[in-house]
């Protein structure tokens, strides 16, 4: 999900609004020793090993190899979104960022779990650790999501057909699956080898998957065949496999996915008719459209950026 600088007030700053308090609970306070200048510290030690210094500069190329491409895309999007919001006269406040966090937590926990519960905080902490979302990246993720949602707001059109599809997605027959996503063919091969050797899908998903479901052993909420929040190739694999079946790696826009079908989920008996829940279904349809438009806009902004890479290390991953 493309959600990234949400700046909370300092400990000695002005009082926070309720929305800011909720955000601070998850984002965390900015570390006391966080740098606020832009001095060149490449030659300064960041740690010592047996008394020998390790400098920031010596770590740079390795850090770039680990996540340089991802961070570059995030920062390109930060810059271009900020510019687009300025051009559109859009300002993102703390309430908008707090709402993005609530939506993010709801996505992780599924329906029925309060975003203020201890369970929600625990799941969010696990996801942040697995995805390397510390103070800076998580805050920036939320701000990006808020900017994207504001920019696409006027393009959302919730028709009666879309609302009825949302009703079918929620109350129609679905399938439940587990998912592993990885960023490279090499990791896809490693995951497949571990599964064929008899390791539990849940274990491999927890240890290797880059999807937010990794903290749940890759378990996804029951999914309808027409649910466009997941790539078509994943949904197709889910529908074509028998219960218990595991797919071969399928190619995504970025990386690969492996799917295991857990079971079929029939339409619930006594499900409310569309007329009874029409307003709620329109809200769900709006969120689905927003997510799709946000992903499309983010991709267009990154691909359309004029980027000149100076650092040799970044050139190798960009």
pLDDT digits (tens, 9 = 90+) for 178-214: 999 999 999 999 999 999 999 999 999 999 999 989 9
Q: Which residues are 223's β-sheet partners?
A: 175
pLDDT at residue 159, as a whole number: 93
pLDDT at 58: 83
pTM beyond 0.85: no
Give the integer Cα–Cα distance in Å for 95 and 287: 17
Task: State the first-to-last Cα distance of the chain, in angstroms, to the nearest integer.
Answer: 21
Bridge partners (DSSP) of residue 263 are 176
99-113, 161-175, 226-240, 246-260: segment of lowest average pLDDT:
99-113
Share of residues in the chain with pLDDT > 90 (%): 51
Planar angle of CA 25, 29, 129, nearest 5 degrees: 70
Contact (CB, 8 A) for 105 and 124: yes
Higher pLDDT, 202 or 42: 202
pLDDT number for residue 150: 97
Q: What is the mean pLDDT of residues 258-279?
A: 93
Q: Are 69 and 316 in contact (CB under 8 A)?
A: no
| Cβ–Cβ under 8 Å, residues 174 and 223 | yes
The fold of 173-265 is Chitinase A; domain 3 (3.10.50)
Torsion region of 149: left, alpha or beta (phi above 0 gives left; psi -120 to 50 gives alpha): alpha
Q: Please, how many CA atoms are within 13 Å of residue 139, restricted to the half-sphere of its CB?
A: 19
**Sign of the four-CA dihedral 114, 119, 123, 126:** positive
105: nearest Cα among 82, 122, 85, 88: 122
Q: Indicate where the chain has its CATH 3.10.50.40 domain(s).
A: 173-265
CA distances (Å), 174 to each of 227, 287, 293, in order? 10, 20, 24
Mean pLDDT of 229-252: 93
């Amino acid at each position: 999900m493309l959600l990234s600088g949400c700046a909370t007030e300092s400990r000695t700053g002005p009082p926070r609004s309720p929305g800011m308090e909720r955000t601070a609970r998850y984002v965390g306070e900015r570390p006391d020793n966080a740098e606020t200048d832009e001095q060149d510290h490449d030659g300064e030690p960041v740690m010592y090993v047996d008394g020998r210094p390790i400098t920031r500069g010596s770590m740079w190329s390795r850090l770039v190899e680990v996540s340089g491409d991802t961070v570059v895309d995030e920062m390109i999007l930060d810059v271009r979104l900020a510019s687009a919001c300025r051009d559109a006269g859009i300002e993102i406040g703390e309430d908008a960022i707090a709402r993005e966090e609530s939506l993010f937590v709801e996505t992780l926990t599924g329906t029925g779990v309060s975003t203020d519960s201890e369970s929600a905080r625990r799941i969010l902490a696990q996801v942040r650790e697995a995805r390397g979302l510390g103070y800076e990246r998580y805050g920036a993720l939320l701000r990006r999501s808020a900017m994207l949602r504001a920019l696409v707001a006027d393009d959302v059109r919730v028709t009666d057909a879309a609302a009825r599809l949302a009703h079918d997605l929620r109350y129609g027959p679905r399938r439940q699956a587990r998912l592993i996503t990885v960023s490279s063919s090499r990791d896809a091969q490693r995951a497949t080898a571990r599964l064929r050797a008899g390791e539990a899908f849940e274990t491999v998903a927890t240890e290797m998957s880059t999807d937010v479901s990794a903290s749940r052993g890759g378990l996804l909420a029951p999914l309808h065949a027409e649910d466009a929040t997941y790539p078509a190739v994943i949904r197709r694999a889910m529908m074509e496999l028998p219960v218990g079946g595991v797919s071969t790696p399928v190619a995504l826009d970025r990386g690969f996915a492996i799917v295991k079908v857990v079971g079929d989920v029939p339409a619930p008996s006594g499900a409310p008719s569309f007329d009874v829940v029409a307003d709620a279904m329109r809200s769900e349809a709006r969120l689905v459209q927003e997510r799709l438009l946000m992903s499309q806009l983010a991709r267009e902004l990154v691909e359309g950026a004029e980027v000149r890479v100076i650092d040799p290390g970044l050139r190798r991953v960009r």
